[in-house]
Amino acid sequence: MHYFAIRKLHFLLRAKALVAFPGGFGTFDELFETLTLVQTRKIKPIPIILVGEKFWRRAIDIDFLVEEGVIDPEDRDLFWFAETAEDIWEGILRWHAAAGEPLYPVGGAGT
């Protein structure tokens, strides 16, 4: 696709989750763009997982943003932290099951 933003949006519309590992400006761009699109309901919610809680808590002070009133307290629920691949995968499966959109049919590969 010619326009970068359209390409990114199409990827997100098909994504089943966003898993963000510690990174730099590109990672922050993808993370905050996804959080914004979910927060503003421009895309359907997807699980957003930040891998490495120690890194992310130092890199982004979400509580400060809430205290300053620039995001709502419930915006903290748009993502969660994970440390292992198993935690990430189990969290994604639980999120989709709770949303009524299991990744696998009952009795399928993910159960």
Whether pTM > 0.95 for this model: the answer is no
As a whole number of angstroms, the distance between CA 17 and CA 3 comes to 23
- Does position 111 have pLDDT exceeding 60, yes or no? no
CA-nearest of 65, 90, 71, 70 to 80 is: 90
As a whole number of angstroms, the distance between CA 104 and CA 69 comes to 39
pLDDT in tens, 1-37: 567 777 777 788 889 999 999 999 999 999 999 999 9
By mean pLDDT, which of 17-21, 30-34, 77-81, 99-103 is the weakest?
Answer: 99-103
Query: For position 102, what pLDDT does the model report?
Result: 87
Q: Which domains are assigned to the chain?
A: 16-98 (3.40.50.450)
Reported in sequence order, the residue ranges of 58-106 that DSSP labels E, i.e. its strands, are 80-82
Reported in sequence order, the residue ranges of 3-75 that DSSP labels E, i.e. its strands, are 18-20, 48-51
Name the amino acid, one letter, at 55: F
Query: For position 109, what pLDDT does the model report?
Result: 58
